[in-house]
Amino acid sequence: MSRSEWQEGFSFEILAEDPASGARLGKLTTPHGVVYTPAFMPVGTYGAVKGLSPDDLEDAGSQIILSNAMHLEFRPGSEIVRKLGGLHRLMGWSGPILTDSGGFQTFSLACMMKPRDEGIEVRSPVEGSKHLFTPEKIVDIQRKLGTDFMMPLDICASGEADRDAVHQALNQTHKWAKQTRRHYNQSQPLHGSPQAVFGIIQGGIYDDLRTSAAQQLLEIGFFGYALGGLAVGESAADRWRIVELCDNLIPRENIRYLMGVGTPEDLNNAVARGVDLFDCVLPTRNGRKGSLFTKAGKINLRNSAFREDDKPIE
């Protein structure tokens, strides 16, 4: 049994593992409760998982929720959330919360984002005004939100980006990771509970860049390590090769988080390689649009073949 403690209120303990594959069961302890891993995090970008109440999420077995710090800064605003008692109170969710920094949106919303040396210039999706998000500002926002886990500002390059573009994004991400950790150390929680921060390993499909990224982040030191920049257009073979590489680079006792992965097949593939945490909008987005994952595969209830079908879905 392995146990890793990085700061007060947080620990990750390996309960069991398969020596052949590296798959493992773990216990993640936080100030807002325990998460047994592997665990999937439903995405509530603006502080709510669309179509589901906190009770629905709990009934479905959800243990931890993900929200987006950058989006919450635009609506309703981190200062308003702080005044209302933090994101847990606003959401009515007593369990752990992880907030992403918004770095993934440099890929998914590239038309609204402009990376600069000092941060990311963003056009507000609410009313179109321009804002500069620095690594320090992202930490300050997440302090106001009071979430359990904070993610640093990073740049997510496309899976089809060339090596030079990936290398440039990686260098910027590493610089911001150092700024994030420094500002994290200099700031304090605002809601009485400690907060932990992850490092994000970028580097595209290039083994040497991923190796360099992991080594640099380990030198800085974070509670856990996330694998970013995957499921963004690269081949499945490249994705799982990089996951295996990174899982071997991250120390066994640290928690591993694969960002943005959510199909049943991908979850199985990642768990078999020793990943502990996941997030994706896919399950709830698909459900709202009538597309379902079943034992027989994916089906779309909006297809005409189901118009008069009165059988159970599964």
Catalytic annotation, residues: 100, 279
Place of tokens 């993934």: 104
Taking CA atoms, 215 is separated from 78, 200, 240, 258, in Å, by 33, 12, 20, 18
Indicate the angle between helix axes 207-220 and 236-249, nearest 10 degrees: 30
How long a stretch of residues is the chain?
Answer: 314
What does the alpha-carbon distance between residue 12 and residue 25 come to, in Å, rounded to a whole number? 11
CB atoms inside a 10 Å sphere around CB 286: 17
If DSSP codes are grouped into helix, strand and coil, which group holds residue 136? helix
Backbone phi, psi, residue 47, to 5° = 95, 10
What span, in angstroms and rounded, lies between the C-alpha atoms of 155 and 138? 13
Q: Where are the alpha helices (DSSP H) in 84-162?
A: 87-91, 105-108, 135-145
Q: What is the distance, to the nearest Å, from the Cα of residue 222 to the centroid of all Cα atoms in its chain?
A: 15
Distances (CA, A) of 282 to 174, 210, 231: 29, 26, 12
Contacts of 127 (CB under 8 A, 6+ apart): none
